[in-house]
Amino acid sequence: MVRIYEDLRAVQRRLGVVQAVVALAVAALVVYFWHLQVIRGKSLLEQAENNRTRTLPIPAPRGPLFDRKGRILAENRSSFNVVVTTERKDELAGALERLSKLVSFDPGEVREHLNTQGPRFRSVVVKADASEEDVAAVEARRLEEPEASVDVVPLRSYPLGVGLAHSLGYVGEISDRQLESGAFEGFEPGNIVGQAGVELEYNRRLMGKDGLRRLEVNSRGVEVRETTRVPPVDGPRADLTIDLDLQKAVVDAMAGQSGSVVAMDPSNGEVLAYLSTPAFDPNSFSLGIKSGEWNGLLKDEEKPLLNRPIQGGYAPGSTFKILNALAALQERVITPQTKFHCPGYLSVYNTIFRCHKEGGHGTVDMTQAIALSCNVYFYNVGIRLEIERLSRYAHMLGLAQPTGIDLPHEIPGLFQDPEWKMRTQKARWFPAETVSVAIGQAMNVTPVQLLRVAAAVANGGKLVTPHLMKAIGGKPFEYPPPKDLGFRPEVVAAVRDAMIAVVNGGTGARARLDGIQVAGKTGSAQVVTHARLETNKHAREYQPHAWFVCFAPAENPKLAMVVMVEHGTAGGTSAAPVAGQILSRYFGVKAIGPGMAPPPDNPPVEPSPAPLRVQTALPSPAVAQSQGPQ
Amino acid sequence: MPIDRRLLFNIDWGFLAAALILLGIGVATILSATFAGRNTGLEIKQLYAIGLGLVLMVIAISLDYRRLVDRAPLLYLAAVGVLVYVLFFGPKIANTRRWFMGPGGFQIQPSEFAKLVAALLVAKLFAEAKKDALGLFDVIVPGAAVGLMAALIAAEPDLGTAITLVPLFLCVAFLAGLRARAILGLFLMMIVLGGLGWMFVLKDYQKSRIYTFLDPNRDPQGAGYQKKQSEIAVGSGGVVGKGYKKGTQSQLGYLPARHTDFIFSVLAEEEGFVGVVAVLGLYMFVLWRAFETAQMARDRVGAFLAAGIAGILSFQVIYNVAMVAGLVPVKGLPLPLMSYGGSSVLSSLVAVGLILNVRMRRFVN
C-alpha cells in the first residue's frame, strides 16, 4: 500500500500564527497578574483586611392573620435581640464571658444553640426579646464590646395563644433538615419560617421579602459604615375563615378536657372554629423554644403536639350509623319504616353481638334506632348491605383518605374491608367482621373526616373541602365546589330527621337548644377490650372516647360541628353537653338539655328525660321538618 | 477494538501527566474553597468524576480519530437532538435549562460535550474542502452547523459555552485557508449579529453583567461585587500567597462560585503569584503540546481536530483567567481541568484523549 501524505505545510504555517497568539495572550495574563499581585498586592491586601463586608438580612414581618370578621389572630411586634458576632469562633467564648456581665443570659443555652448551628458560624442571638435595660447596656458599650450588638426583629405573637395553636401553627428558625428539603429551596440559615398549621401551609405566601444591610467592618468586626440598605417588604395580610367568638366559646367549653372540636359552614367547608386540646403556646416558639420546654411537650402523655382533628385516628363508633343509614336508604336495603327487633343482642355467624342496652330496645324502626343508637338494628342493616357497599359509601363520604384541609401532615385514616385485609394481612374477610364495621368498629377516622359526613347530611348530600384560608393579600382563595354525591333528597331528609330525634329525646338530648332545632349523633369509641375495662372500670385511660357530631339549625344549617372528648366515656354524657354549650353561645339562645346549667336569672329546668317522641307515630320526613323543638 | 500495542509507545506521557497534575491541583483547591462551607465533600465527587473521565479518555484514545470524524455528522445530529430536548424538557435549575437528567438523578450538561462534537464536525467539513484558499461561501455549511449549535446552547441560556464555539470555528477556518478578507467579513457579520442579539436575545442579567464590567461601581452588590471581590482576592495573594486554606476572601465566603468558575482566584489568593505562574506554565505546556500535535498530524483531519480542540481549551483558559483578574465580563465559563463540575471534567478528559489519539496515530496508516 502506498502511503500518501498530504501536503500540510500551509496548515502548519498558519498553526504557527495561532500558537503565537495563544502564547502572547498567556504572557499578557502573566504580566497582568504581576501587576495585580506584586505591584498592587499591598494595597489590595489592605482592602481584603480592612474592607471586609458583611451582609446582614433585615427580616421582613410575616403577613398578619385575621379572623373572618377582621379581628387579629396573629401579628408582629418589634423586639430586640442581643447578638454576638465574631469573625472567628475561638473569640466567641471571651466575648460571651464579657457580655454576661452586662446582660443576664444563660451561656449554656447559647452554647447548645451554637452546636446545632453548623460550621457556617456568623452571629448568635444570646438574648431574644431583650429588655430596654439590656439594650441600653449593650448600646452604651459599643466601643469596648464591638462583638455585641442589638438587632430589631419582628416577633410573631398570637393573642389567643393556646386556643389556636394547632390551626395557626407557629413559626421558628428554619432547621437544617428543612434547608436541605425541596420545600424550602432558596431559604437561608436563620430564616424564620412557619413550622406548623396555617403558618407552614402558606409559609411562602405569608413571608415578606427580607431586606438587607451590607456593612463594611474592620478586622475586629466593628462596623465601619453601612454601604447598602434594601428595606424589607412586609408579608401580605391573610384572612382566615375562623370566627374568633365561636373559637373562644369552643375553648371555654373544652376547658380541662382532651380532644377536638371543629366547626364549619356545611355549605362551603369554611372552618369556623378549630381546637385540639391540650395544646402548646405558639408564642413560646416565636422566641426560640427552650429545649426543656420542648422536651416536656414531646414527652407529655397527653400529646399536646398532636393535631387531633386531622392526626387523631379513632373508631367512629355509633356516629358511623349515619353513614350506614345513608348507604342502606340509598341502596333501598331499608326504608325509614323498616323495623327490626332488638332483644339486646344478635346471634349470627356463631357469635353473639351485643347491644349496649342489656334488655334490648324492642322492635324499632330506623329513626328510633338512630335516636337510641341501637346496635342490633344496624347489625342487621350492615349484614344486608354487605361489606362491599359499606366500603364504597365510606370511601365516597371521604373516609380512609385525607380531607384536603389546608393544614399540613393530615393522616388518611383507615377503613378495613376485604381488599384492605387481603393487601395487608393476606387473609380472607369473614362475614362476622362486617357486623363490627356496621357500628363503626374496625376503622380509624379523624374528627374532620367525621365532620365532613355530618356536613353532607346538613347540606343535602354534598362533600365539602374543609379549609381555613379565605384570602391572602385581599385576593380570595378558590376551592373546589362541594361535590354532589347523588343521594336522593328523601334519603338525606330521613337521616336528618333521625338526627333531630337524637337530640329530641334520644341519646344526644343534652345538646338541645331553646328555639333552634339541633340535629346530632352520639358515639363512643372503645379504647380497650371489654375484659380489660372490667379490670379497672374507673381508670380514665380505659374510658371510651366520646363523640358528638351535629348541625344546626336543622332546617337550614349554618354550622356543622364535631366534638370529640378523649376518654369521655359516652357521647351523650360528655360530648353532647360541650356541643350544647358551644351552640348556645354561638346562636345566643339557651341550652335546655337535661342537666345543662340554666342561665342564673331563670329557674332551673326540670331535668326530665322526656319520653321518646318518636316512639309513637313515626314522623314522616316532611312532618318532622315542620315540627318545632319541643 | 483492541488497541495496537505499538501505539502505546507513541502516547504523549508528558502531556497526560501535566493534565493529571492540573486535575490534582484543582481537587486540592476545591477542598480549600469548600471545606468550611455548608456544602462539603465536593472534592470527593470531583475525584469520582475524574475516575469516570479517565475511563472515557481511554475510550477516546482507542477509537481511531479518523473513524470518529467520519461519524461526525451522526454525532452532530444526536447532539443537536439532545440540546433541543434539554431546551424543552430539561429540568429548570436557577432559571436555565442546561441539564440532562440521566437515570438515578445523574445530571450532565450536554453543551460541554456538544463543543467536542462540533470540533469533530468542523474538522471533517474543512478537511473535505481541499482548496488552498477559502472564501466566505466555502464556510457557509460549517458556519451554519456550528451557528445552530451555538444558538441552541445560547438559548439555555449558557452564553459562555456558546461563545467557545466561535474560536473553534475561526481557528479551524483560518488553518483551512480562509482569506484575511473573509475573516474580516465574518467579524463584521458577528458584530451585526451581536448588536441584534443585544437588542433581542440577551437577558437582563447578561446585559447587567456587561454594563457592570464597563463600570464596576454601577452595581457593587451584584455582578460588580463578584468582580471586585475576585480582584481583591487575587491581588491580596501577593507574591507567595496567604497559604493553603488560609485565604480570607475565599474562607469568609466573599467569593461567589469560588469552587467552580472562580477556582483560579482561590488559587491566586492562597498560592500567590508564584502559584499563578506555575499553574499557567502547566496550562501553557498542555496547550503547546496540543498545538504541537496538530503540527505533527499525518493528515488535515487530524491537524484540524487537534487544533480545534486546542483552540477551545486555549480560549477557555485565557478567558477564565482574564475574568478572574477582572479583565473581561463575568461569564459562566469553567476553567478546564480545575473547576468543580462533573460535565466539565468529563469533557476536558475526553478532549485530552482526542489529542492523544491524533498524536499517537501520526505514523500509522
pLDDT band at A167 (very low <50, low <70, confident <90, very high): very high
Any idea where the domains of chain B sit in the sequence? 5-360
> From CA A342, how far away is CA A379, in angstroms rounded?
10
Q: Give catalytic status of residue A318 as yes or no.
A: yes
Looking at the predicted structure, is the pLDDT value of residue B363 above 90?
no
Q: Which helix (H) or strand (E) holds A530?
A: helix A530-535
**Higher model confidence: residue A15 or residue B4?**
A15
User: What are the grid coordinates assigned to B26, written together?
Assistant: 484543582
Looking at the predicted structure, is the pLDDT value of residue B279 above 50?
yes
User: What are the grid coordinates assigned to B210, written together?
Assistant: 456587561
Sort out which chain B residues have CB atoms less than 8 A from A52's CB and list them.
Answer: 248, 252, 254
Looking at the predicted structure, is the pLDDT value of residue A430 above 60?
yes
Looking at the predicted structure, is the pLDDT value of residue B329 above 60?
yes
Residue B273 to residues A32, A428, A581, B19, B269, Cα–Cα distance (Å): 10, 79, 83, 21, 9
> From CA A252, how far away is CA A243, in angstroms rounded?
14
pLDDT band at A619 (very low <50, low <70, confident <90, very high): very low
Name the percent of chain B lying above pLDDT 70.
Answer: 89
Sort out which chain A residues have CB atoms less than 8 A from B327's CB and list them.
Answer: 32
pLDDT tens per residue, range A506-543: 899 899 999 899 999 999 988 877 777 777 777 778 88
> From CA B26, how far away is CA B345, in angstroms rounded?
10
> From CA A519, how far away is CA A507, in angstroms rounded?
12
Name the percent of chain A lying above pLDDT 70.
Answer: 88
Contact B324, B268 (CB under 8 A): yes
Q: What is the pLDDT of residue A623?
A: 34
Name the percent of chain A lying above pLDDT 90.
Answer: 58
Contact A412, A401 (CB under 8 A): yes
Q: What is the pLDDT of residue B222?
A: 54
Looking at the predicted structure, is the pLDDT value of residue A622 above 60?
no
CB contact under 8 A, A15 and B280: no
Contacts of A210 (CB under 8 A, 6+ apart): A57, A58, A59, A60, A191, A232
Which of A92-96, A606-610, B195-199 is predicted least confidently? A606-610
Q: Which of residues 192-221 of B touch A (CB under 8 A)?
A: 220-221
Angle between helices B263-296 and B300-324 (to 10 degrees): 160
Reference A171, options A154, A201, A192; nearest CA is: A192
Which of A263-267, A324-328, A350-354, A536-540 is predicted least confidently? A536-540
Contact A149, A83 (CB under 8 A): yes
> From CA A263, how far away is CA A265, in angstroms rounded?
7
> From CA A596, how far away is CA A604, in angstroms rounded?
9
Catalytic: which of A318, A373, A524, A574?
Answer: A318
**Higher model confidence: residue A220 or residue B253?**
B253
Q: Which helix (H) or strand (E) holds B111?
A: helix B110-128
User: What are the grid coordinates assigned to A168, written together?
Assistant: 395557626
Backbone phi and psi for residue A430, each to the nearest 5 degrees, phi listed first:
-100, 140
Sort out which chain B residues have CB atoms less than 8 A from A87's CB and list them.
Answer: 252
Contacts of A207 (CB under 8 A, 6+ apart): A60, A62, A63, A193, A235
The whole-number average pLDDT for the span A251-279 is: 95
User: What are the grid coordinates assigned to A528, written together?
Assistant: 380497650
Reference B234, options A469, A213, A587, A36; nearest CA is: A36
Q: List the A259-264 sheet strands across, edge first.
A: A271-277, A259-264, A559-565, A545-552, A519-525
pLDDT band at A615 (very low <50, low <70, confident <90, very high): very low
> From CA B341, how far away is CA A534, in angstroms rounded?
69
Q: What is the pLDDT of residue A374?
A: 93
Q: What is the pLDDT of residue A569?
A: 83
Q: What is the pLDDT of residue B73?
A: 95
> From CA A442, how far away is CA A429, in angstroms rounded?
12
Min Cα separation B120/chain A (Å): 17
Looking at the predicted structure, is the pLDDT value of residue A1 above 60?
no
Q: Is B33 on the interface with A (CB under 8 A)?
A: no
Closest-CA residue of chain A to B234: A37
> From CA B267, how far away is CA A261, in angstroms rounded?
64
CB contact under 8 A, B221 and A214: yes
Min Cα separation A585/chain B (Å): 54
Q: Which residues pair with B78 in a beta bridge?
A: none
Q: Average pLDDT over chain A, rounded to whole? A: 85
Q: Is B244 on the interface with A (CB under 8 A)?
A: no
Contacts of B365 (CB under 8 A, 6+ apart): A1, A3
Q: Is B174 on the interface with A (CB under 8 A)?
A: yes
Which of A106-110, A322-326, B21-25, B117-121 is predicted least confidently? A106-110
Q: What is the pLDDT of residue B89?
A: 84
pLDDT tens per residue, range A534-552: 777 777 788 889 999 999 9
Reference A435, options A384, A368, A510, A509; nearest CA is: A384
The Cβ of residue B238 has, within 10 Å, a number of other Cβ atoms equal to 21
> From CA A518, how far away is CA A263, in angstroms rounded?
14
Q: Which residues pair with B357 in a beta bridge?
A: none
pLDDT tens per residue, range A463-482: 999 999 999 998 998 888 99
Parallel, antiparallel, or unpaired for β A238-240 and A65-66? Answer: parallel
Q: What is the pLDDT of residue B245?
A: 85
Which 3-state string (H, E, C) describes A267-317? CCCEEEEEEEECCCCCHHHHCCCCHHHHHHHHHCCCCCCCCHHHHCCECCH
Question: Mutate which of B122, B172, B232 to test chain A, going by most A C-beta atoms within 10 A?
Answer: B232
Q: Is A24 on the interface with B (CB under 8 A)?
A: no
pLDDT tens per residue, range A59-98: 889 999 999 999 999 999 888 888 887 655 556 777 777 7
Backbone phi and psi for residue A412, each to the nearest 5 degrees, phi listed first:
-80, -20
Reference B305, options B62, B64, B59, B6; nearest CA is: B64
The whole-number average pLDDT for the span B290-296 is: 95
Sort out which chain B residues have CB atoms less than 8 A from A23's CB and list them.
Answer: 284, 288
Secondary structure (3-state) at A333: coil
Sort out which chain B residues have CB atoms less than 8 A from A3's CB and list them.
Answer: 365
Contact A340, A380 (CB under 8 A): yes
> From CA A533, how far away is CA A536, in angstroms rounded?
6
> From CA A348, how far away is CA A38, in angstroms rounded?
99
> From CA A528, how far away is CA A147, in angstroms rounded?
60
Reference A132, options A79, A58, A84, A83; nearest CA is: A79
Secondary structure (3-state) at B19: helix
pTM of the model: 0.59
pLDDT band at A121 (very low <50, low <70, confident <90, very high): very low
Q: What is the pLDDT of residue A86?
A: 65
Q: What is the pLDDT of residue A180?
A: 80
CB contact under 8 A, B177 and A33: no
The Cβ of residue B169 has, within 10 Å, a number of other Cβ atoms equal to 25
The whole-number average pLDDT for the span A148-165 is: 89
Q: Which residue type, as a one-letter code, is found at position A70?
A: G
pLDDT band at B3 (very low <50, low <70, confident <90, very high): low
Parallel, antiparallel, or unpaired for β A271-277 and A351-354? Answer: unpaired
Min Cα separation B169/chain A (Å): 13
Backbone phi and psi for residue B97, each to the nearest 5 degrees, phi listed first:
-120, 85
Looking at the predicted structure, is the pLDDT value of residue A614 above 80?
no
Q: Which residues pair with A214 in a beta bridge?
A: A55, A228
CB contact under 8 A, B365 and A3: yes
Size of interface A-B (CB pairs under 8 A): 135
Q: Which residues pair with A352 in a beta bridge?
A: A347
Instruction: Give residue for cell 502505546.
Output: B8
Looking at the predicted structure, is the pLDDT value of residue A612 above 60?
no
Looking at the predicted structure, is the pLDDT value of residue A439 above 50?
yes
Which of A35-49, A74-88, A548-562 is predicted least confidently? A74-88
Sort out which chain A residues have CB atoms less than 8 A from B38's CB and list them.
Answer: 118-120, 189
The whole-number average pLDDT for the span B319-328 is: 91
The whole-number average pLDDT for the span A334-349 is: 93
Looking at the predicted structure, is the pLDDT value of residue A621 above 60?
no
Q: What is the pLDDT of residue B218?
A: 52
pLDDT band at B223 (very low <50, low <70, confident <90, very high): low
pLDDT tens per residue, range A291-321: 788 888 889 888 999 999 999 999 999 999 9
